Amino acid sequence: MNDILEKKDEVIIPQLEQLEKKGRITKMMIICSKGTLENVYAALVLANGALMEGIQADMFFTFFGLQAITKAHADHLHTATVGNPAFMPGMPTILGGLPGFESFASFMMKKEMEKLDMPHVSEFVQMIDAAGGEIYACKLAADMFKLKKEDFLPEVKDIITVGDMYTLAEGEGTHFIFI
């Protein structure tokens, strides 16, 4: 019987080889330039999702995205209630600007995310790091916001230039996502 099963092995392996030939994604470089809750989560879910598929994934945080990987702000991100027409469609824009409204909306969103077993940003970053994903901060943006290595979460591997980021992305089959 084992002989017959061995045949199945032969079936599986050529299929994997075919996938390689089709240009299977082998590496993802996820760039996050936004610091709003939903954008940061989109970047984290995409990176983690790639790792779960056996695809290598690295992350590069820049501009306001840097806030997402600072010790001070990682778990206190907000969602935009102004300038975000898809947030509660039909709601007058002026309401979104009322004091406390953004905090309240962000609190409610985090509560819904918790129900879906979505971790907090700092835990998500830990998960990605444990899965082998590397997390980097952009040097130019870090200089602009006067952020140093010690301001970032411990999983942030380094502060690097855009050139270094491209070096990291080298190799066949790398895809980029910019958020």
Task: Tell the residue number behind the tokens 């958020």, with chain if given.
Answer: 179
**Is residue 109 a contact point for another protein (CB under 8 A)?**
no
- Do 135 and 40 touch, CB atoms closer than 8 A? no
Q: How far is the CB of 52 from another protein (least distance, A)?
A: 6
Please report, as residue ranges, which positions from 39 to 58 form the binding site for another protein (by CB under 8 A): 45, 48-49, 51-54
Phi and psi, residue 135, nearest 5°: -120, 130
Position 9 contacts another protein (CB under 8 A): yes
Q: How many CB atoms neighbour CB 108 within 10 A?
A: 11
Tokens 């491209």 locate to: 166
Q: Extract the tokens encoding 43.
A: 């970047």
25 binds another protein (CB under 8 A): no
The letter for the amino acid at 141 is A
Residue (of 20, 27, 17) closest to 54 by Cα position: 27
Nearer to another protein, 14 or 163 (CB): 14
Please pick, from the candidates 80, 82, 131, 141, the single residue that binds another protein as defined by CB under 8 A.
Answer: 131
173 interacts with another protein by CB under 8 A: no
Applying CB under 8 A, the residues found at the interface with another protein are 1-2, 4-5, 8-9, 11-13, 45, 48-49, 51-54, 116-119, 126-127, 130-132
